[in-house]
Structures are given as C-alpha cells and as structure tokens.
Amino acid sequence: MSTVETTSSTREHPTEKRYWLIALFLGIVTAIEIAIAYIPDLNRTVLTVGLVGLGILKFGVVVGWFMHLRFENKTMSRLFAIGLILALSLFFVVLATFSGILAS
Amino acid sequence: MSSETAVHGPIGTDGADIRKTAMWAFLGSECLFFGSFIATFLLYSDETNGGPGTELFDIPFTSVSSFVLLMSSLTMVLAHNAYEREDKRQMRIWLVATALLGTVFLGGQVFEFTTFYAEGLRMDISPFGSAFFVLTGFHGAHVAIGVIMLTSMVIMSRRGNLHSHRGMNVELVGLYWHFVDIVWIVIFTVVYLLQV
Amino acid sequence: MATLTPEVLDTEEPGSHEATGGLWSWITTVDHKRIGLMYGGTAMFFFLLGGIEALFIRLQLAVPDGTVLTSDQYNQLFTMHGTTMVFLVIMPLAAAFGNYLLPLMIGARDVAFPRMNAMSYWVFLFGGIFLSSSFFLGGFPDGGWFGYAPLSTQSEVIRMDFWAIGLLILGIASLAGAVNFTTTIFTMRAPGMSMFKMPVFVWMQLVVAFLLLFSLPVITVALFEVLFDRNFGTLFFDPAAGGDPILYQHLFWLFGHPEVYILILPSMGIISEVLPVFSRKPLFGYQFVVFAGAAIALLGFGVWSHHMFTSGLGPVAESAFSLTTMFIAVPTGIKIFNWIGTTWGGKISLKTPMLFSLGFIAMFTIGGLSGVTHAVVPADTQQTDTYYVVAHFHYVLFGGAMFGIFAGIYYWWPKISGRYLSETLGKWHFWLMLLGFNLTFAPQHWLGLQGMARRTAVYPPDIGLDTLNMVSTIGAFTIAVSMLPFLYAMFVNSRKGLAAPADAWDGRTLEWSISSPPPHHNFHEVPHVEAIDDFWHQKYGEDEEGRAVRIKTFPEPSRYTDEYIHLPSPSYYPIMLAAGLVLMAYGFVFAPLGIPLFVIGALVLFGGAFGWAQEDPDHPMGDHADHHADAHEGTETGDEAQAGADASGDVSSDDVSSEDVKTGEVEVAADESGGDDV
C-alpha cells in the first residue's frame, strides 16, 4: 500500500479485434449449451455438470475480459469474490437444510 | 491533459480507481441480492400448486434473447474502448447499440411474461410463479435502469456534459451492464436450461 | 493532471459558499463532519423515542395483568422499540462515529463520495420519519422487529407495509454508507498508513462495512418478498400453496446475525481506542484484535440458524450451527482478554469515557456468556422466546453497544466541540445507568428461565413473576433518570465546559493532532504515517527502562490556514433524491390513492439523479468563476492537491495521480473546460 502507482489499465487491455473474438466464443458456448439441453435422454448428472460448467466459463470470460477484472488490483477482485463465494456457500447450506440432507 | 488520465476517475492512495473500487464493492453486494432470489426460485421450482410449471418455458425464444443480451456486452465493451480512445462519435454509436439491444431484451421479457400469463402462469398462482416472475422481473428492472443510464450517457455526451469525474462514467456503467449480463448467464442456465 | 479549483475556502470569509451558518448550508453540506453530527443528533432523538416506548412496555409489565396498554398497543410498542433501537439508533450512531472519525483517523479530507454520504444521511432521516409516521397513519408496525412471515404477510392493515418499506429505505442508506466507507478505507488512507497501521476503530468500521455489504441484500430480498406477498398476491410464504415461512426465517437471519456484529463491532472499535489512551499503554495485541474482528465477521455469516433451532432443522444442521456458535465465542473472548491486557499495569485514569469502556467490558462479557448458552440446542429450546433471550441481547446491545457509544461520545466530544463534557455529570450518568441497566435486565434472566414469554402483554399473578418484574420496571426508570445528567451536560452545560486543547486526552491517533473543533478541511497538510499510533510516537520516545518519555510538544494547531484547499462543494441533489424516495414510499403504501404521489416521487428521484450526474461537484451552487483569480500554483502543496482530489472522490474536479503530485505538476485548469469531457 505504501508504494503508489498509477493504474494504466489501457495498456494491458485487449484490442477491439480480441473483443469480437471473445464475443464469438461466447456465442458458440451459448449454442453448445442449448444443444446440450436438447440431447434426448442425456444423463441428468452429465447435463447438469455440462451446463453449469459452460455457464461458469461464460461468467468467467465476461468478468475477466469484458469487465477486465483480470487487469484490476486485488482489492476489486476480492470484493467481488467475497460476494460470489458467500452467495454460493450460504445458499447451498440454506437449500441443503430444506432438502433433508441435513435432517437425518 | 493526457488522454490516459482524462478517461479515468480519481485515483486513490493505493493506486486504484476510487469509483471502480466502489462499483466492485456494490457488485459483490448484488451477488447476494440475486443469490437470494435464485435460491428462492430453486426452493420453489416444483411448487406449482397445481398450476403450470417449467413446461411453459420456450427455450429457443429465451436463447435468442439471451444471445441479444450477451451481444450487448460486446457493444458495451466497444463503447468503452471508443471512450478510452476519446472517440466520442464511435462511443455514442456503441452506447446506443447497447441500449437498443437491452431494449430488445426487455421487449422479449415483456412478450414472455404476457405469453405466460395467457397460459395461466401468474405470480399469484403458485410459489413457483412468484419466484419466477420476481426473480426475472428484478433482473429486468436492472436492465431497464441500465438502459436509462446508457441513454443518459448518450444525451450528456451530446451536450458535451459527460465527464469522467462526475457521477457515473462509461466505465462504471459498463461494469454495471456486464454484471447484469452475467446474472442473466446464471439465470439462463439455472432457471431455464436446467429446469427443462 | 490536477486541477485546483480553489473556490472553497476554509476561512469563514463572507461570500464563501461554505459559510458555517444557515439551515441551507446544513441541507446542502457534503462535509463528513457535519453529516456525522446530523447522524448522531438524529439517532439520539430516536434513542429517546425508543426509550419512551420501552418505558411504556415496562409500565405495562410492572404488575400482573397490566392495564396500561391494550395488547394491540403493546404489540406496536415492542415492535417499534426493537426496530427503532436497531435500525434508527445503534446503526446510525455507528455511522455517525464512522462519518466523523474515519477521514480524521486515516488522514483524509473527506470520505470517498461526499455527496453519496449526504444522501445516506437524508435517506436515513426520511426513512426514520417514514417508519415513525405510521403512528399517525394507522398505527405502528406490530409484527415484531424481525417480522416473521406469515404474521407479517397476513395482517390486513398497512402497518407492516410501513415496516417493510421503511427497512428497505434504511437499507439503501446503510448500503450506500457501506460502499462509501469500504472505498474510503481502501483508497484514501494517508501516505504510509498501511492496513496494519490503521487504528482499530477504522478496522472495525471496515469489518462492519463488509458485513453490511454482504448481508443487507439478503434482507432486502426477504422484505421484497413480504411486500409482494402483502400487495401483489405472491405466495412466497403461504404454506397452503406450497410456500415455506422457514425460508423467510433463513433470509432474515442470514442478515440478522451479521447485523448483531454490525451493531457491536463499532463499539468494540471505540473502546479499543479509549482503553489505551486512559491506560497510557498501547493496545495489547493489536493484530489479535484486528484478526479477531475479521474472524467474527467471517464466522458471523455461519451461525444464523441458531436463531432457528426450534424450527426443526434436523439434528445435523443443529449440531453444525451449535458448533459454529460456540466457535464464534473464541475471537470474542480473545478481544476481551486483549482489552483487559491493555489496562493491566497501565496508569489508569478513570475519566467518564474510561468508565463506560470498562462498563462495556463487564456488561458485554455477561451478555456474551449468556449468548454461549444459546449454542446448546436443548438449552436454547427452553430459552427461545423467553425473557432470558431478552436479557441476553440487552446485555450485549445496551450494556455493550450503547455503553461503547457513550464512551465514544464523552471521548470525542472535546474534539467535536472544543469543550470537555462535565466529568461530574458524566459520572452520575455512568453510575446511574450501570445501576439502572442491571436492575432492569439482570432479573430478566430469572424471569425467562421461569418461563416468562417475551412479546406477551400480560402475565398472571402468583406464578412467581411479580417481584422481579417490578424490579425490572424500577430499573428501566432509573435508566431514564440517568439520561438527565447526560442531556443536561450535552445541551445546557456544554457551552460552559472546560475548553479542550487539540490533544484533549494525550491521544494516540491522528484526529488529536488537529485543532478542536477540526478545520473544515481536516488537515492543513496531509500527514505521513510511519507507525501504529503515529501521533503518540511523534510525542513520546522511550528511556532505557522502556518508559514513555515526552520528546516533542506541538504548538496548539490553528483551525485556519491561509492556503486555499480544494474541497467538494455543497449540493442539494442528495436531499432531493432522498425526498423522491420517501414520496414514492408514501405513494406505494397508500395505493391506489397514492399512485400520483408515487409518480411525483419517482420524477423527483430521477431528476435528482440526473442532476447529480451532470452536476460539476466543484461549483453546483452557481457561478463561482470569480474565484479563479485566487488560483495559486500549487507546486509546493502537492500533498494537499492530492488529498483534495482524493477527498472529493467522485466529485474531484479531475483525477490526480499520485505521481503527478509527487513531481509537483499541478495544473490549474479553467472550470468550464474540464478538459476531459468525452
């Protein structure tokens, strides 16, 4: 904290062409998601893991590049990470108490 | 006034953009907001109370509107790119494009809600209906606020009144907009695709 | 590139638009010190209101089969007593201290977002008025301060709408405040003040801001769901349709338990500042106190279900939450030992702030210990909804949080006003309050264990509850009497008080290095910090035996400076935005009749936001171009330029990278050009 730096975030930022490629990638992932959802008789676990995995991938790409959190300082990514992790863990526990897993 | 400093807000003693730090804190908070609504939905996804359930979902239609919102993130990032180059005209074009894509998404949501109501899925018919409409409705409200902010930016820019240091700048609105997009990525996966 | 727009002067010259007097200057102020004072004054008013509500409750319960109140009135009063004390007293008092002291303690000229800070206050004030005005508009809310569904969703009258919307409004104020404080602490500390050189009070405010950030959205959702159930026919909490009221309990306590720490941690921060000063020793185990605070915050998110042990969570969940609840006693215990260790062997001076701090330790320990008993599920099953629980949380929230707040008031009042509060009156206040407090709440432990249920307006005679209830009521009135010397000291005697120097108590933190009352711009020069308690180490060195020896005496600092110091300009948009919000709230409650009011409110809100976005924070109140001539080339005041820009946060006229400042390149730009419109 004692060293003071000017953030020159423009330097590391992806180029315009890179943004288009990222968008193309996101579009393709979305198409795959929809395709997976339509595969008949797909094992439910495989479906869930596949869709959640692809969702996380899209989420990460948008946060990392479009929101350029990859290029920001640690304070910002930690603030967001705390919210994300708390939301996931707290509501996992809440739903678990309803599901009966914790009842026996 | 170098172009690099001009497009950013004030920098704190830790070297970080002060307002961007605040925006990320707010977005971290918003994770819990949408997390609560999504948890409510997951709890009630089968509580249809004899009314219609997820079989009403029209995945092809929602996929298209999801794609529209995803592409609005691209136009937003292009607007921000133009903003950093101080290319006002390009920036306004992409801002308008983003606002339009957001409006198309909202239109899609209105259409979807109307269809569901016609088919008997209402928010007062079952906890499932309540959870679905309130979750997607609050997301839609976020999109609408985003559209208002984007439009305001365009108007302010045209009047030469858009400054990096006043209120929200393009970068902050961009962060908000992308966040609304990633919330929809989660909703699309968890509420639509996984429930069918 | 920096712009020094020096139209805000700190000299009280006529024509300066930050002139000290006048209602308008308070309405439009963005000065964190004034906002802190307004927070404190408003919260103290609500404290008296909440206290009067408590007195009615105790009057009703003084004797069996009480007839002072009807059960309907009783329901309203205990609901509003709880809601007021939590949301309108302790939280805003913590915000008051945070506002006044954070920038002073970290060496900044203001918080990160001065206008947002003003908005927080006005939203809080209007929200509090909105909530309390329900008394005249159909009655206070009556569903208990945690508004359990379906009780809160099914009552026909609009009372619980006031409650839900009121809390939503107050949540906006708190959330904006939390974002503001988080950002201020992360980005605006004086050069050299690393995180582990911050005063503990600042640390605790940071922890509280985190807790608010991540718990408020959850209650926001719970309140929206209640509101929608009440007004739009949704079925979130209707068991007949498949809804589950237990979900409400989860959502409420996911907020509610972190909220408990939101209420107590600021006071823990306050006494961590007071104890070292009046023991003339550094805080024992600074790192432990800080880490314990952070650990409390983290664990605080993992114990919510101990409020729900009787709702049938199942043995696995109950055991898990029982364990986490016991665990959270560990960091709390660490703090208590650190405070005792701080006083150990110190040269203790029993001034009023110290008395309240020691009172805090004793009372909080009692409350903490009775709290641990709730972790044991079978015992908790017996204690739930009895006066034992009431006794417990009053020991931590009154004996703890409020005692800490009084310690803070007596401690920092000389800084705020330039005069000490009377020690004699202060000691009367403390001892009467300590006596009254214990008379009121100690008997409630026994009452609860004998089975007296909370939230019940009457109890029958001859079941062994009469005497203790009477004692409790006498205690409550003793507390009321103890407030008299305090109010007299604050409002009558404070002008005659002993004049206080800048360093009123031989303090350790930065706020004591500046004049009392502080300059409008806080610091003439932004300090460079090298150690924890930097100010103390500037004053004292050590001799061979490790005793503190005075090495330097500072001349009494002046309140004024000849320099022009850039400060954010006042704005009326924050109050406009807050007014729009509360108009919308009234409109909503009285829909459909209120719909026009709702629309007007929305327009005011939007107008405020749009004006805010376009306002040049450097001169929103009109043309101040004539001040340009006063611009000085600020090369040698680089630090001030930096702090000025930092202080203004969202509103500084331009960004100042610290490196620019170091090299002294400070450019005075014409306001109109701004140079960076895009």
Window 78-117 of C: residues touching B by CB (8 A cutoff) are: 112-113
Report whether pLDDT(B162) > 80: no
Give residue limits of the domains in chain B.
15-195
CB contact under 8 A, C214 and A82: yes
Please count the residue pairs, one from chain A and one from chain C, whose beta carbons lie less than 8 angstroms apart: 54
Q: Which of C250, C254, C659 sits opposite A4 (nearest CB)?
A: C659
CB contact under 8 A, C676 and B1: yes
**How does DSSP classify residue C419?**
B
CATH T-level fold of B15-195: Four Helix Bundle (Hemerythrin (Met), subunit A) (1.20.120)
Q: Does A47 touch chain B (CB under 8 A)?
A: yes
pTM of the model: 0.89
Compute the 3-state secondary structure of chain C and give helix, strand, coil in percent, each to the nearest 5.
65, 0, 30
Distance from CA of B161 to the nearest CA of A (A): 23
pLDDT digits (tens, 9 = 90+) for A7-22: 444 445 678 889 999 9
CB contact under 8 A, B165 and C216: no
pLDDT for residue C492: 82
Q: Which of A4, A79, A102 sits opposite C314 (nearest CB)?
A: A102
Check whether the bond before C141 is cis (ω within 30° of 0). Answer: no
The C-alpha atoms of residue A21 and residue A43 are separated, in whole angstroms, by: 32
pLDDT for residue C157: 67
Looking at C540-628, list the stretches that DSSP marks H as alpha helix, in order from N- to C-terminal side: 573-589, 595-614
Window 62-81 of B: residues touching C by CB (8 A cutoff) are: none
Top residue of C216, C220, C250 to mutate, by most chain A CBs within 10 Å, is C250
Structure tokens at C641: 């330029």
Structure tokens at C375: 């972790």
> C29 near C570, Cβ under 8 Å?
yes
Q: Does C248 touch chain B (CB under 8 A)?
A: no
CB contact under 8 A, C658 and A4: yes
Q: Which of B124, B134, B162 sits opposite C678 (nearest CB)?
A: B162
Chain B partners of C205 at a C-beta cutoff of 8 Å?
Answer: none
Q: Does B10 touch chain C (CB under 8 A)?
A: yes
CB contact under 8 A, C214 and A104: no
Residues of chain C with pLDDT under 50: 1-19, 620-678
The C-alpha atoms of residue C101 and residue C33 are separated, in whole angstroms, by: 8
pLDDT for residue C659: 34
Rounded to the nearest 5 degrees, what angle is found at the Cα of C323, between the Cα atoms of C319 and C324?
120
Q: Does B173 touch chain C (CB under 8 A)?
A: no
Distance from CA of B34 to the nearest CA of C (A): 8
Q: Which of B8, B22, B43 sits opposite C655 (nearest CB)?
A: B8
> B131 near B44, Cβ under 8 Å?
yes
**How does DSSP classify residue B191?**
I
Q: Which helix (H) or strand (E) holds C3?
A: strand C2-3
> B117 near B52, Cβ under 8 Å?
no
CB contact under 8 A, B11 and A6: yes
pLDDT for residue C253: 96
User: Quick one: which of C95, C77, C50 has its CA closest to C144?
Assistant: C77
Give residue limits of the domains in chain A.
14-71, 72-104
User: Quick one: which of A57, A60, A19, A55 has its CA closest to A34?
Assistant: A55
Chain A partners of C193 at a C-beta cutoff of 8 Å?
Answer: 1
Distance from CA of A49 to the nearest CA of B (A): 10
CB contact under 8 A, B181 and A62: yes
pLDDT for residue B167: 61
Q: Which residue of B lies nearest to A15 if distances are taken between CA atoms? A: B81
| Phi, psi dihedrals of residue B117, rounded to the nearest 5° | -60, -40
> C443 near C62, Cβ under 8 Å?
no
> B135 near B37, Cβ under 8 Å?
yes
Structure tokens at A12: 């590391």
Q: Does C665 touch chain B (CB under 8 A)?
A: no
Mean pLDDT of chain C: 86
The C-alpha atoms of residue C361 and residue C342 are separated, in whole angstroms, by: 12
> C49 near C84, Cβ under 8 Å?
yes
Q: Which of C244, C612, C660 sits opposite B43 (nearest CB)?
A: C244
Chain C partners of B171 at a C-beta cutoff of 8 Å?
Answer: none
Q: Which of C195, C218, C320 sits opposite A1 (nearest CB)?
A: C195
The C-alpha atoms of residue B191 and residue B186 are separated, in whole angstroms, by: 8
Helix (H/G/I), strand (E/B), else coil: C499: strand
Chain C partners of B29 at a C-beta cutoff of 8 Å?
Answer: 175, 178-179, 213-214, 216-217
pLDDT for residue C23: 87
> C325 near C373, Cβ under 8 Å?
no
Chain A partners of C182 at a C-beta cutoff of 8 Å?
Answer: 79
Distance from CA of A11 to the nearest CA of B (A): 10
pLDDT for residue C265: 96
Q: Does C674 touch chain B (CB under 8 A)?
A: yes
Structure tokens at B129: 């209906």
pLDDT for residue C156: 65
Chain B partners of A82 at a C-beta cutoff of 8 Å?
Answer: 28
Q: What is the ipTM of this complex?
A: 0.94
Q: Does C303 touch chain A (CB under 8 A)?
A: no
Chain B partners of A51 at a C-beta cutoff of 8 Å?
Answer: 189, 193-194
Architecture of domain C32-496: Up-down Bundle (1.20)
The C-alpha atoms of residue C343 and residue C350 are separated, in whole angstroms, by: 11
CB contact under 8 A, C187 and B83: no
CATH 1.20.210.10 domain residues, chain C:
32-496
Q: Which of B21, B66, B178 sits opposite A62 (nearest CB)?
A: B178
Report whether pLDDT(B105) > 70: yes
pLDDT for residue B8: 66
Q: Does A4 touch chain C (CB under 8 A)?
A: yes
CB contact under 8 A, B189 and A38: no
pLDDT for residue C444: 97
CB contact under 8 A, B70 and A72: no
pLDDT along chain A (104 residues), means of 10: 40 77 93 86 86 93 90 90 94 89 60
CB contact under 8 A, B185 and A58: yes
